[in-house]
Amino acid sequence: MRVHARRAARGVARARSNATASTSAASWPRTVAEAARALDARALTAVDLLSHCARRVDADALTSRAFVGSAASRDAHARRALADARASDARRERGETEGEADGEARRRASALDGVPFAAKDNLCANVGTTSAGSRILEGYESPIEATAIARLRALGGVLIGKTNMDEFGMGSHTRTSGQTTLNPTSSDGERSSGGSSGGSAAAVVNGSAFYALGSDTGGSVRLPAAYCGAVGLKPTYGRVSRFGLVSYCSSLDTVGVLARTVSDAGVVLAAIQGEDALDATTVARCEDLDAAALEFVDETTPKAASLKGLRVGVPEEYAVSELTQEVYDAWNEMVRAMEALGAEIVRVNMPHTEAALPCYYVLAPAEASSNLARYDGMRYGDLTRDLSREEYLAEEFQSAIAKARSLGFGDEVRRRVTVGAFALSSARAAEYFEKAQKVRRLVSDDFTNVFGGEGGGVDVLLTPSSVSTAPKLSDVEALSPAQTYAADVMTVPASLAGLPAMSMPAGRSRASGLPIGMQMIAPKFREARLVRVGSTLER
């Protein structure tokens, strides 16, 4: 095995060296679309793209710290990535495209064939380790691969590595895993990259990957996208299979996409969507989303330059007291831009929005306390560095599990598991959990009313993605846990209703130069509408 590992390492080194000449001469692509065009024109090879991204990953270790994994795990990803890139180049030489037979599907697939991507570390890969940012899963090697990753690789996607996250997805600043990911857009000190998919957002923005997979439970794709200046697309619950995603809150968890452009995000989402026999909550493919992806890939297709006929709802309840003036101004500017493109602006009311955040922080910890009960210190990760097998077995059963969890879970996870267990206790379930379920229905009904109200309702909602630009990490450290939860106030309502939502860049702060993100929310299973509207605005 050591001989094979050394040979693979030398292969990566040779590939990096061989790419040097072409990288110096070529204008390096920044998006999936640009990479696909360069590959099709034979201006670059998939190995060239991998080499370039690998150098960015190496540099990232000293800057953003977006990637995670032991040296052995990273080497395993590097070996497989090189093999996948070489296979992509060989297919291209033969005039083949991986995974699809018919013409339109082949054109969509070719946009991803040979393009490097990253995945959040709570999506299982059958190479390297998967830890979900937790000590209790340290060293865990998954025997399965998440459906989302498997579908991208089946289309020729090249997985370059796993990205940092808050432990089990519990956090808004990618700092609870023992490694803090820094915002690559900050020029005035260490700032939050958002969470919990901050590693994926940073990897896309700093050029280590052309796109990345994340997970979104209450805003974990959209908040990092807003803070880092990326596009973050959360699909409808059930649009993308959750098989292979380490569970946090099963009724809210979704696999999402982070990319540089809306069209890139749409193409990737189209690739991973659809029914999966391994996840009973999934739905059939959306042909309209496939058609939108094809429009983005096909340069000859006329692109919409108007939003005429679109009704855009602007909910007054999102103008919370914590909203900074610069974000409020950017919101108004986006409203004016959509109006100038022909959209009709409709002021709407969503009276239960205020209750969404406390509702979420009852339901999510409750489900987490159940999902994380499987981690008993005996299975999955390796805690023997701190708790030997002999010590574990010598303890009384419940005491042994408690000791293992105390060692394996971080402060935030222990806090939420404790809150969840309290909310589910027989004495408190009716007072907290059942009441929160009723509030969740009211929040969902608010969306139903604005999307299907009098006059046909609105087509999309426009809100800020966050109340401010990325905060300094020193300021975050000074906040109480309850204060940090407020970062999710803009994103949680759509999650509770299971709706598709997307954060996209909407300018930068005049004071700090940091990105500002705006969020669009659509009715269930209308992702195609989101990406078409977003792409028009982007152009």
Cis peptide leading into 196, omega within 30 of 0?
yes
CA distance 160 to 208: 9
CA distance 182 to 189: 9
| Catalytic-role residue among 73, 110, 120, 247 | 120
Q: Three-state SS across 66-116?
A: CEECCHHHHHHHHHHHHHHHHHHHHHHHHCCCCCCCCHHHHHHHHCCCCCE
| Catalytic-role residue among 196, 465, 466, 468 | 196
| Catalytic-role residue among 64, 193, 220, 247 | 220
Closest CA to 203 of 173, 233, 225, 175: 225
Lookup: tokens for 457: 């309702």
CA distance 347 to 330: 17
Q: For the chain, what is the radius of gyration of the CA atoms?
A: 23
524 is known as an active-site residue: no
What is the number of helices (H) and of strands (E) in the chain?
A: 20, 11
Query: Which amino acid does the sequence have at 73?
Result: S
Residue with tokens 């966050």: 466
Residue with tokens 């939420």: 416
Alpha helices in 134-197 (DSSP H): 147-154
220 is known as an active-site residue: yes
DSSP secondary structure letter of residue 355: G
CA distance 222 to 197: 9
Q: Are strands 460-464 and 515-521 parallel, antiparallel or unpaired?
A: antiparallel
CA distance 88 to 41: 14
Closest CA to 418 of 465, 362, 378, 468: 362
CA distance 168 to 358: 20
321 is known as an active-site residue: no
Catalytic residues: 120, 196, 220
